[in-house]
Structure 1
Amino acid sequence: MCSLGALQARQTLEVEGAPLLPVQRPRPERAQLAKRQAPQGGHEGEDVDWLTTSLLFLFPAIGGLLFGYDIGATSGALVSMTSQQYSGTDWYSLSAFQSGLVVSLSLAGALLGSGAALLYGDKLGRRRELLGASALYGAASLVVALAPGLPTVMAGRLLYGVGIGFAMHAAPAYIAETSPARVRGLLISLKEAFIVGGILAGYAASFVFVEQLGGWRWMYGLAAAPAVVLAAGMLWLPESPRWLLLSGAGPAAASAALRKAKGRTANEAVVQVGRRWCVCEGGGSQGLCSNFAELLRPRYRRPLAIGMSLMLFQQITGQPSVLYYAAKIFQAAGFAGAEEATGVSLVLGFFKLIMTGIAVATVDSWGRRPLLLYGVSGIVLSLLALGTAQVARDMVAWTNLVALLLYVGCYQLSFGPISWLLCGEVFPLKVRGQAIALATLTNFGSNFLVSLALPTITESFGPAATYFTFAAIGVGAVVTIHAIVPETKGKTLEEIEALWQK
């Protein structure tokens, strides 16, 4: 009984932190065994205190919203900061490399934060890690908003990025570990929508302040307000009960956190389940991979290739980086005014949110592989259209708008949610924690490099060549997906793991 409970707790802890992860369907014989062994007060058919559950989701999800906000706000802030009329500084004439640094230093910080979270996150705990993220978010926002010069702006951008790294590590784990089992999949899916909502909020702030003197200071400074809300919420919320069980904090601390997390549905049976998990786990996570060399074993090469290639292609096809420069792209394409360009970016944000909703609704019915293949093929077509529009100048403005909408829509149906979903599914249990951490580092690392290089590449070779290069990479992504990515829809994690043993 204890070994089954430990396995289930371990799977929940490591797997369900990935965006859009489906609820597992155990094999019939295991389901029967679990049903016979499950203690009273288990997950099946449990009641949900929707108010408490919503708060347990809402405050950590603000960490993701602030990540998205930075993407959207940076798009307009770069226009404002480099405008002679509206910058309000005497250092507005930034080089392409300096513009790239303003954008990419937050990603460099996220890379550092992800590495630090990998080493120290489990020691800090989800709640303290999110509190640290809120402090970094708030402090960095004020540093940038009040910056007397470009070096201070860059220091604040790096600090904000470290907050992103902590938040994107802790928030998914906290949501997965505190959510009732029967609504966990829904809440993890909604977390992706919060990130997209943050991008939209950043575009809205850009639209409002882009033609105000020193508007970029307001765009970045506004992030301090939700950072305070995140901190206040996490001070009130309990620590993750499952983390307390695994960290050896003891039955009393875990029981108290369980009662608060369950809200009105808490009862003695729930506490007993928590104590049983504590006894089974023994305060540790034995049996999990603690050595990266384990990932290089032949049986793990294909799932590692799938996860790493999806994370890499997600970034080097350019879409996340293009979002940072959306306003500048539209401004150069024919929407001459800064306000007009940021207004079109706002439309882009709304469209991205709509397409995210479609992806959440269809991923379990259409399947992962078709969404990836058709979605990435659409990305390639839109990149070819963007490149062609730069050559045929008489059709630039509206062709850019339509092509970028297609670009973003296809991304949200494919790389956006499906890459993280497959990373949660394809890695075997023994190496899943380490492999997902490596995938996260690949994600932020490649995003940093592309964002840093994009302005310089575009300036050196022109936008048409840049888009055509991204399109060629997209073709490589389609070929790779067709060759190595299996369909995992409807399969249990055990069935997916068995694929690598054939």
Structure 2
Amino acid sequence: MLHATSKQAEAEVQSGGRRGNTEQDSSGNGARPEPPIDRLMTFLLFIFPALGGLLFGYDIGATSGALVSLKSAVTSGTTWYDLDSFQSGLVVSSSLFGALAGSSAAFVVGDKLGRRRELLLAAVLYGGSSVVMGAAPGLEILVLGRALYGLGIGFAMHAAPAYIAEAAPAKVRGTLISLKEVLVVCGILLGYLGSYLFVDTVGGWRLMYGASAVPAVILLGGMFWLPDSPRWLLLSGAGKSRAEKDLVRARGSTADAAAVQRELAGIEKSVREAQATEIPGFVGLFKGRYLRPLTVGTSLMLFQQITGQPSVLYYAADIFNKAGIGAGKDATGVSVILGVFKLVMTGVAVLTVESLGRRPLLLIGVSSMVVSLLALAGSQLALTGQLETWTSVIALLLYVGAYQVSFGPISWLIVGEIFPLAVRGQAAALATVTNFGSNFLVSLVLPTVQETFGAGATYLGFAVIGVAAVATIYAIVPETKGKSLEEIEALFDLESDEKTV
């Protein structure tokens, strides 16, 4: 079984390398503590790339309110406010089309640009499109602005996990990449807040969309100041001295010369192996040593989108209103309730990812999602009255909480750390395309499925997919807690070697 092979290889990597928060003495006489972390510099290495996620979340939260404002004869402030269903769908989905295009483009140009310049490009796209949307004189320009914003989303969601994974200290890498999901949820809440504040203002949709220019400028300035990824610098041929300089900057005031040299030596070894390897084309990613990490990353991105989140949240307002929660301010009340709860549960994942590990959070969280989906299906198919209502409310909250401690943050974390250096940019781009592509397909077919089969049968179908997700995670997803990126790569190399013996 793949899982057994993974555990054996994992043990070999640990026995010959770093474990937990220690590193092996060069003399082989035992482990010694790692140097302390510069908390301020590490925070900056996280917060600026994570603003790309916040701007993604903000668009999700703001668009529902912006559409209400735009379609109202009273608040639109335009002569073209009377949008039909197709035009409304175009406004909402155009950013998703852009995100698909951006993540697809990242497959081709991501490694050439590098993580930092890719985030700079995302910041320019975010900021420029915010101005275009806020000043749009007609529907066509608004849709164009939405598509450009989506391009920014595609580049940002591809580059941010890789930059954080490659630039941050290994022992907090998991916490920081998971914490990026907190910024996404914070962005959603800020979007809801913007909707609440401006939905009754004439031209309020312009303010909602235009406001995202402010964090975009901060993202641009922050990424302009931050160092490049030392791994990307070596891989791109920038030279050891430049990589060492940027690594010292990344480690901040607590940078220890000996520790920097040890870390740089490990990176150099990984880069030499990557450069000695023929970089595969698209088909080559699905062969040899790249197949399993690619399967792990793309399957998590796929299951993240096809295990029911759009469907569950689609019915959230109705479930809460039946229970008397959020009545009177239906959409806003339910959105805020769920948004705050999502934020709290994402915080739980961040606080436990380095102690419990990635794999246990995924297995426990996705299993809980299956239980909640079965409860939702049962409440719709077999229960009535208040028992149905409150069973649905409890199951809904369980589902949202379970998603936020598993698929929400952990999928992006693993995508940020699991791919070999030689193909990290291409593989991460393919995983991002899988995410946005499956999101689009689910959004496309979900209304028809719900109308044809009903809520109960839809939940039951997603529960079956959830069981397949749990089985897949158990079979192929390794534990990467406490390992450097080079150790994670060696984990798959050992496994590949075992299969050729």
TM-score by length of 2: 0.79
What amino acid does structure 2 have at the position aligned with 1:409? G
Name the counterpart of 1:374.
368
Which residue in the other structure is 1:412 paired with? 404
Partners of 2:375 and 2:391 within 8 A in 1: no
Q: 2:179 matched to which residue of 1? A: 190
**Contact 1:313–1:474 (CA under 8 A) maintained in structure 2:** no
User: Who is 1:171 aligned against?
Assistant: 160
| Alignment-mate amino acid for residue 122 of structure 2 | A
**1:445 Cα deviation (Å)?**
0.6
2:427 is equivalent to residue 439 of structure 1: no
Secondary structure of 1:213's aligned partner: coil
Shift of 1:273: 4.9
Shift, 1:131, TM fit: 1.0
> Is the Cα contact below 8 Å between 2:369 and 2:466 reproduced in 1?
no
1:124 is displaced (CA, Å) by 1.1
Distance 1:274 1:431, change over 3 A: closer
2:443 equivalent among 442, 446, 451:
451
Distance 2:222 2:189 in 1: 23
| Mapped contact 1:178–1:240 kept (Cα < 8 A) | yes
Give per-residue Cα distances to partners, 1:329-363, cap 9 Å, x unaligned. Answer: 97999989885421321121000011112233445
Q: Which of residues 330, 355, 358 in structure 1 aligns to 2:345?
A: 355
Q: Does residue 18 of structure 2 align to residue 28 of structure 1?
A: no
What amino acid is aligned across from residue 171 of structure 1 in structure 2? A
Separation (CA, whole Å) in 2 of partners of 1:330 and 1:89: 34
Per mean C-alpha deviation after superposition, the further-off stretch among 76-85 and 141-150 is 76-85
Moved more, 56-65 or 234-243: 234-243
SS of residue paired to 1:89: coil
Gaps of 5+ in 1: 1-22
Could you tell me which of 115, 122, 126 is aligned with 1:137? Answer: 126
Partner secondary structure for residue 24 of structure 2: helix
Query: Which of 474, 478, 502 pairs up with 2:467?
Result: 478
Comparing 249-258 with 226-235, which one deviates more in the overlay? 249-258
Contact 1:99–1:455 under 8 Å retained in 2: no
Q: Are residues 1:79 and 2:68 paired?
A: yes
Q: Is the 8 A contact 1:60 1:174 kept in 2?
A: yes
Rounded Cα–Cα distance in structure 2 between residues aligned with 1:135 and 1:29? 44
Q: Which residue of 2 aligns with 1:293?
A: 283
User: Which AA in structure 2 matches 1:354?
Assistant: V
Shift of the alpha carbon at 1:403? 5.4
Q: Which residue matches 1:312?
A: 302
The amino acid that maps onto 1:346 is V
1:27 aligns to what SS in structure 2? Answer: helix
For 2:241 and 2:176, how far apart are their aligned partners in 1? 28
Residues 312 and 396, structure 2, Cα contact 8 Å, conserved in 1: no
Cα shift at 1:397 = 8.8
> Counterparts of 1:278 and 1:422 in 2: how far apart (Å)?
19
Distance 1:249 1:94 in 2: 52
Quick one: which amino acid aligns to residue 407 of structure 1?
A: Y
Percent identical? 53
Does structure 1 retain, via aligned residues, the 8 Å contact 2:161–2:415?
no
Superposed CA RMSD in Å reads 4.1
Describe the shift of the 1:470–1:43 C-alpha distance in structure 2 as closer, same or farther (beyond 3 A).
farther
Seen in structure 2, the aligned counterparts of structure 1 residues 455 and 143 have a Cα distance that, compared at 3 Å, is: farther
Query: Residues 497, 36 of structure 1: CA spacing in aligned structure 2 closer, same or farther, 3 A cutoff?
Result: same
* Map of 2:241 onto structure 1: 252
- How do 1:9-158 residues align onto structure 2 when only pairs under 5 Å count? 26-31=13-18, 35-37=24-26, 44-158=33-147
CA distance 1:384–1:234, change in 2 (3 Å)? farther
Q: 1:392/1:81 Cα in 2 relative to 1: closer, same or farther (>3 Å)?
A: farther
Q: How far apart, CA to CA, are the structure 1 residues paired with 2:384 and 2:73?
A: 30
Q: Write the distance in 1 (CA, Å) between the matches of 2:220 and 2:274.
A: 28
Distance in 2, matches of 1:87 and 1:468, equals: 39
Partner of 1:344: 334
- For 1:270 and 1:298, the matched residues in 2 are separated by 33
Deviation at 1:194, TM superposition (A): 1.2
User: Against the structure 1 CA distance between its residues 204 and 398, is the aligned structure 2 distance closer, same or farther, given a 3 Å change threshold?
Assistant: farther
AA aligned to 1:357 is: G
Name stretches of at least 5 consecutive residues in structure 2 with no aligned partner. 1-9
> Separation in 1 of the partners of 2:27 and 2:157?
32
Q: d(CA) in 2 for partners of 1:284 and 1:426?
A: 15
Give the alignment's TM-score, normalised by structure 1.
Answer: 0.79
Q: Return the alpha-carbon distance in structure 1 between the equivalents of residues 244 and 417 of structure 2.
A: 30
Q: Is the 8 A contact 2:61 2:191 kept in 1?
A: yes
Deviation at 1:24, TM superposition (A): 10
Alignment correspondent of 1:204: 193
Range that drifts further, 428-437 or 363-372 = 428-437
Match for 1:238 among 213, 227, 249? 227
CA contact (8 A) 2:285 2:427 kept: yes
Contact kept in structure 1, 2:68 and 2:199, CA below 8 Å: yes
Q: Tell me the CA shift for residue 290 of structure 1.
A: 1.6
The question of whether the paired residues in 2 share the 8 Å contact of 1:109 and 1:159 is answered with yes
Give the Å deviation of 1:296: 4.1
**Deviations along 1:454-478, whole A, 9 cap, x unmatched?**
56766xx28x825632541332331
